[in-house]
Structures are given as structure tokens and as C-alpha cells.
Amino acid sequence: MGTKFKDYVKEVEADLNAEGRAILKGFRAHYDLAAQLLELRREQELTQKELSKISGIPQSEISRIERGVGNPTRATLEALGGALDARLSFVREPAGVA
């Protein structure tokens, strides 16, 4: 086993069956969106409260989304994206990504 967390994760992923890989892919997609929102907000040096004021989305909802526990609608994501000068889009995954 590797000594770095990333190495450990790679080893665990290699041992997953098809069902496990599908579940992991779903989790990654879910948390990737949360991470993107957080990164965009921080790049613009905005607090959640400031983003709330600009977007019209409650700060508590922004917090839930960034923590990966929210279930935002498309309208919510578009409002946040508009406030952050970003837009929703599908991105093709590189070959070999589980």
C-alpha cells in the first residue's frame, strides 16, 4: 500500500467491482459540482453571504450545496453561475476515468 492518501484511493478504486465503480462515479459527480462552486466563489473572494445577495439564493442553500448535501435545481445553479460569471455545461470525462 502507498503512503499517500491518493495512492490509497487508487488502490481501493482498483479493487472495486462494476457496481462500486458506478456508485463512486455518482459521488464524484455530486461532489465535483460542490467543489466547483466553492472554487469559483473563493476565486472571486466572495463570502457565501455576498454571493447570496448577488444571486438571490439563500446563504443556507449555498452552504448546503458547497458541502455536497444540497440538491439544487437548475434555476438555482444558473442563478449562482450568473452571479459568478459562469455557466452550466456538460464536460466529457477523459478516457479511463471511472
Q: For residue 70, is it within any domain?
A: yes
pTM of the model: 0.70
pLDDT tens-digit profile of 66-84?
998 999 999 999 999 999 9
CATH code, domain carrying 37? 1.10.260.40
Total domains present in the chain: 1
Looking at residue 92, the DSSP 8-state letter turns out to be P
d(CA 49, CA 93) in angstroms, rounded, equals 33
With a cut of 70, say whether residue 98 has pLDDT above it: no
Q: Are 51 and 57 in contact (CB under 8 A)?
A: yes
pLDDT tens-digit profile of 3-62?
788 888 788 888 888 888 888 887 887 788 899 999 999 999 999 999 999 999 999 999
The domain in which residue 20 lies consists of 5-83
